[in-house]
Amino acid sequence: MGSLVEGGGLSITCANQNPTRTQTAVAGALGLPLATVDVRVRRIGGAYGGKLNAHLPTAIAAAVAAAKHGRPVRLHNDRSDDMASTGGRPPMEGSFRLAVDQGGVVSSIELTAAFDSGVVDGGAGDLTMGVCWADNAYRADDFAVHGSFYNSGVVGSAACFPGGVTIPLHELAMEAAAEAVGLPADAVREANLYATGDAALCGVTVGENGFNWNLPAMWQSAKARWEVEAFNRSNRWRKRGLRMVPVKYGIEDNGGAYKEGCSLGVLADGSVRLAHGGCELGQGIHTKAAQAAAFALGCPLGGVSVSDTSSLATPGSADTGGSATSECVVKARCWTLD
């Protein structure tokens, strides 16, 4: 919904993962200074990347109509129209080549992935992250990954969990390696898992600099708990099966790429008002921020109120996504109190 505010500005309320991006788009469409456009969001019904860009045409249309007619304009798409205009995960064409020994160790692997981004360039972000995490949880002495995206005459794709487009390709390669040497797929996966100290893609050292590498221990624990082979030998009619697929997903602040503002005020009666730049997508970010503030101040949680996310209250905040925004908001809260 778009509405005019005193002084010629606009207030926009819409479901989105980045009020700053929405603010920039609306201000650009109307030729307004950023300081006169306030984009607000209380909570949205999930996102995972789908509300980074797909909402922009709707938000801009409501803003332009409100500015033209000088009255509030509410725009809500019919579900069928919404689904037709919002692309899902980008289709991908993938291929692989690899070398594997009789013990199931993959010494060389090459992955190639091409993303169909539809009529927009929305696949670029998924492509970049998909390439960076294409190694998944596996080491190889010789690893190469090639990525590209192309456009086609279909609706643009929406950003989704990026590992979901290259990790399946790598897992398909592992399945093929297992079939080639006649070993169970889980045995091949286990033989190729990263170990602490291994160098992964994008300058990451596994198990260092905050990357806790507990996946091998979890793998062994799951095997021991289920005792599949022993159980199946001891039971004629009841059988167990266990299939495990590892996932390594880089959760960090991306060298400062996540920038989330936070402001905190203590009122005369001791109650606390908190504003931050993250968007509530169902992950409980408002509750986490309030808990952190209450803990640091030593006050009851019920005494902390969290404002709607606003592009003017915390300007310049980054996307909410990547499984790191809550942590960045809490860190910003700590700096605010310091």
Asked whether the predicted pLDDT for residue 185 surpasses 90, the reply is yes
Distance CA 116, CA 151 (A): 6
Residue 264 pLDDT > 80, yes or no?
yes
Residues 6+ apart with CB under 8 A from 39: 12, 13, 14, 16, 19, 20, 22, 23, 26, 59, 310, 311
Mean pLDDT to the nearest integer, 124-149: 86
Question: If DSSP codes are grouped into helix, strand and coil, which group holds residue 26?
Answer: helix
Tell me the per-residue pLDDT of 187-219, one tens digit each, with 9 for 90 and over: 999 999 999 999 888 778 888 876 788 889 999
Residue 329 in this model has a pLDDT that exceeds 90: no
Q: Which of 70, 85, 100 delimits the end of a domain?
A: 85
Residue 10: CB atoms within 10 Å: 22
Domain end marker among 55, 85, 115 = 85
Which element (helix H / strand E) includes 285?
helix 285-297
Q: Say whether pLDDT at 247 is over 60.
A: yes
* Spatial CA neighbour of 48 closest among 163, 161, 164: 161
What's the CA gap between 187 and 244, in Å, rounded?
Answer: 10
> Region 40-45: what's the mean pLDDT?
89
Taking a C-beta distance cutoff of 8 angstroms, is the pair 21, 91 a contact? Answer: no
Q: Is the pLDDT of residue 70 over 70?
A: yes
| Confidence tier at 140 by pLDDT (50, 70, 90) | very high
Q: What is the pLDDT of residue 159?
A: 66
Contact between 54 and 160 (Cβ < 8 Å): no
Q: Which residues in 211-331 belong to E strands, given as ranges?
A: 262-266, 272-276, 304-306, 309-310
Question: Do 96 and 207 share a domain, yes or no?
Answer: yes
Q: What is the pLDDT of residue 38?
A: 94
Domain that residue 31 falls in = 2-85
Q: Are residues 99 and 175 in the same domain?
A: yes
Give 103-120 pLDDT, tens digit per residue: 999 999 999 988 888 877
Q: Please, what sign has the CA dihedral across residues 77, 321, 130, 179?
A: negative
Q: Pick the closest to residue 51 from 91, 90, 5, 19 (CA basis).
A: 19
Both tokens of 228, joined, read 């599949």
Reduce the DSSP state of residue 171 to 3 states and report it: helix
Q: What is the pLDDT of residue 47?
A: 65
Residue 254: predicted pLDDT: 54
Please check the confidence at residue 241 and state whether its pLDDT lies above 80.
yes
Residues 58 and 97 in one domain: no
Same domain, 123 and 59: no
Interatomic CA distance for residues 319 and 314, integer angstroms: 13
On whether the CB atoms of residues 140 and 108 are closer than 8 A, the answer is yes
Say if residue 283 is in the same domain as residue 264.
yes
DSSP label at 314?
S
What is the number of domains present in the chain? 3
pLDDT band with cut points at 50, 70 and 90 for residue 92: confident
pLDDT tens readout for residues 48-64 = 667 777 788 889 999 99
State the DSSP H helix or E strand holding residue 56, giving kind and residue range, or none if neither. helix 56-69
Instruction: Among 61, 85, 109, identify where a domain stops.
Output: 85
Higher-confidence residue of 206 and 123: namely: 206
